[in-house]
Structure 1
Amino acid sequence: MRDLIKSVCMAFTEFDAPPAESDVDGPISWPGYDEARARAQERTGEPESVVCGVGKIGDVEATLIVFEFGFLGGSVGRRTGDRIEAAFARARELGTPVVSFIATGGSRMQEGMAALSQLQRIARQAALTRAAGIPQISVLRDPTTGGGWATLGAGSDVVLALPGAQVGFAGSRVRPPGDDSAYTAESQLASGHVDQIVEDLPGALARWLTLLTNPCRTIPVPPAALGSARVPETGWDAVQAARAASRPHADAYLDAYFDWCEDVSGDRCGGVDPGVRCGFGFRDGVTIAYAAQCGTPTLPSGFRTAARLIRLADRLGFPVLTLIDTPGAANDGAAERAGAGAAIAEVFAAVASASVPVTTLVVGEGGSGGALAFAAPGRTWVTPDSFFAVTSPEAAAAILKRPASEIPATANQLHLRPQDLVQLGVAQGIVQPR
């Protein structure tokens, strides 16, 4: 554990431990508990299962909460709770982000409910720190189970994991027999509960802490167009230009706009949409959050991930750039069962309630409400090779019972061209290539 601290920190100063009660065998008089703690201290050189202090990671000072799994399985007892509570309070005083390096089997059974109730203390401290606008990062080590996963781990703003780490609420000795692969960092990433699995932990933490401590204080300008500068003559021309395989997509816009960026992943409800990219990007020394549709029908998990990103950016004070490029929200039975309507509503609400500026650029297809949910009223721009429509020309023709031959004419009637959108007041302007 001390080696881990040395590997990620240029300097580390440990906090003084809060005073501890002197109670032999703990609050429920578990036989031999005092001797077990003494053996754990002798074996690890640590008086408790967690060490807390302030360390410099890259160029950023952060409050560190580091678990020692060798001390009674990294279990959380009352003294652990005392230390974690004091660390969060100190982080708020210092204004430093909190990084939790978790390796725990859960609550300490030798202290009974007195140990389990520490999770409430930890959750309150995390909530107070969240309300103070201080970012929290968790690093999931092997293992991260029980209350450590359900509070410090899953409750952080950004969740990083080490490859192959055991991660899950149920520990290996108490879970039902069956699919052990569900309890891995890789499975949690695929299920939308982990943002990244990192090989280079010091580098990853330095990047994330740089991003989360340098918010942009101005309204971001929209990206320049990367495709054609010519606006389309007809609505059908606009549709064809936006659907062209050669037209630049969101990845190209993010690469051109940011010096570098880091993605977050997943909706924290069991889903990941590969057609939506969300995260934080560094541009000219400051950070801007982004939520980008990447050209596919947006899944409910994509909308929930975008809403999560916008709410997080708003709480931490980062402006948001949204990129629109979708034929619309996924509307099959699976999407309906996954809560498509409620997920879209989350994004509308997140954009509408954001206190930070949200800037939008339509870079391709703007398909109906599934696209509009990503759009910022009064701060939306369009590229020359994009369109935005109340519904697709094909759907409009079907609704009006028109033959397929009339789809191009229907596109013209929808007034979906970039210049139409400016005239209608939906877009502020058409961006051009630099």
Structure 2
Amino acid sequence: PADADPAAYTAEGQYAAGHVDAVVPAAELPAVLGDWLRVLAAPRATEPVEPPAALADVAPPKTGWDAVRQARHPGRPRAGAYLDAYFELRLPLRGDRAGAADPGMLCGIGLRGGRAVAYAAQCGTATRPAGYRTAARVIRLADRLGIPVLTLVDTPGAANDAAAEHAGAGPAIADAFAAVAAAGVPVTTLLIGEGGSGGALALAAPGNTWVTPDSYFSVIAPELAAAILKRPAEQAPATADQLRVRPQDLVALGVARGVVPPAPS
């Protein structure tokens, strides 16, 4: 019909809608298939994988506000850089199979030290429902295949606009929590930047979460906490100290197992 979507029923349209993981040119199919066979036939680790080394060599923050500023620095390393440094080979899995994909969530399976490891990594943006559904899908797939999981946490919080609400933000976040909690394979988490509220907690492994020196974790952003407490905006830095968001605070509180150092040069 004249009003039909020209992308309907095409591979590219299905990819854009989150229904397929990749569109591969015919000439590249043998190499891609070979890579997937390498990954899926690789040995599985039975213990939790080690977290990536920190990519930023920064001093421990003196105050909570220092921690927030370091985590929000525009030049801070993001998930893509961590994944590139960690994996010898990684193959992406994309889309929530419900009509959407979130470019702020990188998921897939790769090789680390010759062993297969699945990953779900936030990229520093507000994570959308499709991102949580994709992460949950990949974690459950890894669980069925016996592949350990690495999650990278980096988000100011879950997207909370009208579109996110209409797309089922609450159930999507809950599904990610459930996937991590139910996984029978080891799950390792590294907090690499902002850890905002339940949007970050949804991907955090209980008992096996690590943090980088340029990260923070908080139930709420300091500015919003100050507003809720009816404090003036200039008291946000003091509120950050009271929230105990620094990496060393998270270790002392038992939220994180430790602060990962940079790799030896």
Calculate the TM-score normalised by the size of structure 2: 0.96
Contact (CA 8 Å) 2:151, 2:189: kept in 1 or not?
A: yes
Contact (CA 8 Å) 2:157, 2:195: kept in 1 or not?
A: yes
The structure 2 residue matched to 1:216, chosen from 28, 44, 52, is 44
Deviation at 1:177, TM superposition (A): 5.8
Residue identity opposite 2:172 in structure 1: A
Cα distance in structure 2, aligned partners of 1:345 and 1:300: 10
Deviations 1:10-61 (A, max 9, x none): xxxxxxxxxxxxxxxxxxxxxxxxxxxxxxxxxxxxxxxxxxxxxxxxxxxx
The equivalent of 2:192 in structure 1 is: 363
**SS of the residue 1:430 aligns to:** coil
**SS of the residue 2:120 aligns to:** strand
Correspondences of 1:283-294 after superposition (within 5 Å): 283-294=112-123
Cα distance in structure 1, aligned partners of 2:182 and 2:188: 14
Correspondences of 1:28-427 after superposition (within 5 Å): 178-199=4-25, 200-217=28-45, 218-427=47-256
Cα distance in structure 2, aligned partners of 1:376 and 1:357: 9
**SS of the residue 2:189 aligns to:** strand
Deviation at 1:398, TM superposition (A): 1.4
**SS of the residue 1:366 aligns to:** strand
Cα distance in structure 2, aligned partners of 1:181 and 1:351: 35
Deviation at 1:266, TM superposition (A): 0.2
Deviation at 1:209, TM superposition (A): 1.4
Residue identity opposite 1:238 in structure 2: A
Contact (CA 8 Å) 1:234, 1:412: kept in 2 or not?
A: yes
Cα distance in structure 1, aligned partners of 2:102 and 2:226: 29
Provide closer, same or farther for how the CA distance between residues 236 and 177 of structure 1 changes in structure 2, counting only shifts above 3 A. closer
Cα distance in structure 2, aligned partners of 1:402 and 1:228: 34
Contact (CA 8 Å) 2:43, 2:114: kept in 1 or not?
A: no
Please list every run of 5 or more consecutive structure 2 residues that lacks an aligned counterpart in the other structure.
Answer: none
Counterpart check, 1:429 vs 2:263: no
Contact (CA 8 Å) 1:229, 1:433: kept in 2 or not?
A: no
Contact (CA 8 Å) 1:215, 1:288: kept in 2 or not?
A: no
Deviation at 1:230, TM superposition (A): 1.5
**SS of the residue 1:363 aligns to:** strand
Deviation at 1:260, TM superposition (A): 1.6
Deviations 1:80-101 (A, max 9, x none): xxxxxxxxxxxxxxxxxxxxxx
Cα distance in structure 2, aligned partners of 1:413 and 1:365: 17
Q: Percent identity?
A: 65
Deviation at 1:179, TM superposition (A): 1.6
Deviation at 1:216, TM superposition (A): 2.4
Residue identity opposite 1:205 in structure 2: L
Deviation at 1:261, TM superposition (A): 0.4
Contact (CA 8 Å) 2:121, 2:151: kept in 1 or not?
A: yes
Deviations 1:156-182 (A, max 9, x none): xxxxxxxxxxxxxxxxxxx89622322
The equivalent of 1:30 in structure 2 is: none
Cα distance in structure 1, aligned partners of 2:5 and 2:87: 40
Please list every run of 5 or more consecutive structure 1 residues that lacks an aligned counterpart in the other structure.
Answer: 1-174
Cα distance in structure 2, aligned partners of 1:419 and 1:278: 28
Deviations 1:360-398 (A, max 9, x none): 000000000000000001000000000000100111111
Where relative contact order (Cα < 8 A, 6+ residues apart) is larger, the structure is: 2
Deviations 1:120-158 (A, max 9, x none): xxxxxxxxxxxxxxxxxxxxxxxxxxxxxxxxxxxxxxx
- Give me the CA root mean square deviation: 1.1
Residue identity opposite 1:298 in structure 2: T
Deviation at 1:281, TM superposition (A): 1.2
